Structure 1
Amino acid sequence: MRYVGDISSTDHYKIALYTWNGKYIVKVEAGLYEQTYKVSEMDFLGDEADIHKLFSDEAFLKTIFARFNQMHTDFQEAIERVETS
């Protein structure tokens, strides 16, 4: 897997772009959690700028961050169940 560069980065999250085996791989990291998106390079005709646009779309980013919040909630609830059993 080849690191291409960051799409975005703040104190709270990082979005990094990679290429591997004919795919763009976008990793979105927030604290302990990570979401990975794999997209065929053919879907974007090898144009990295379109990947940057996709992962700058505010509506899409809101769903990504809502998913992180749900991941955190799910994880905390599982920990509580294990600790009380």
Structure 2
Amino acid sequence: MRQLADIPHPEAKITLFSWNGKYLIKLERGPFEQTYKVSEMDVASEAEVRALLDEEFIAAAVQRFAQMHHDLQAAFTRHDIY
């Protein structure tokens, strides 16, 4: 796996990788991470992958991080784990 770029953003750490004919877009926030795989056949360049990372995409990912946090906390609560 080859790291192509760190893409600065205030809401999440974003890293772009190339691996096995795919671009991997990795977003991290606290203890959570999301990875999206985009086939190199579906985009013409790294620039097109970066274009996917618009504010609407990032906002949805940030909401998903909040939902992930909520889901984990709910599981802790269901099992009386703190």
Structure 2-normalised TM-score? 0.90
Give 1:22 deviation, angstroms: 0.4
Tell me what 1:61 maps to: 58
Query: Which ranges of structure 2 fall in alignment gaps of 5 or more residues?
Result: none
Q: Which residue of 1 aligns with 2:7?
A: 7
Matching residue's letter, 1:64 = A
Which structure is higher in helix share? 1
Counterparts of 1:1-85 in structure 2, within 5 Å, are 1-10=1-10, 12-45=11-44, 47-55=45-53, 57-83=54-80
Report the alpha carbon displacement of residue 6 of structure 1 after superposing the two structures with TM: 0.9
Aligned residues: 81
- Within 2, Cα distance between the matches of 1:66 and 1:9? 15
The residue type equivalent to 2:80 in the other structure is: E
CA RMSD of aligned residues (A): 1.3
Measure, in 2, the Cα distance between the counterparts of 1:35 and 1:82: 25
Instruction: Among all aligned residue pairs of Structure 1 and Structure 2, give the percentage whose two residues are the same amino acid.
Output: 49
Give the whole-Å Cα distance in 1 for the aligned partners of 2:75 and 2:7: 32
Gapped runs of 5+ residues in structure 1?
A: none
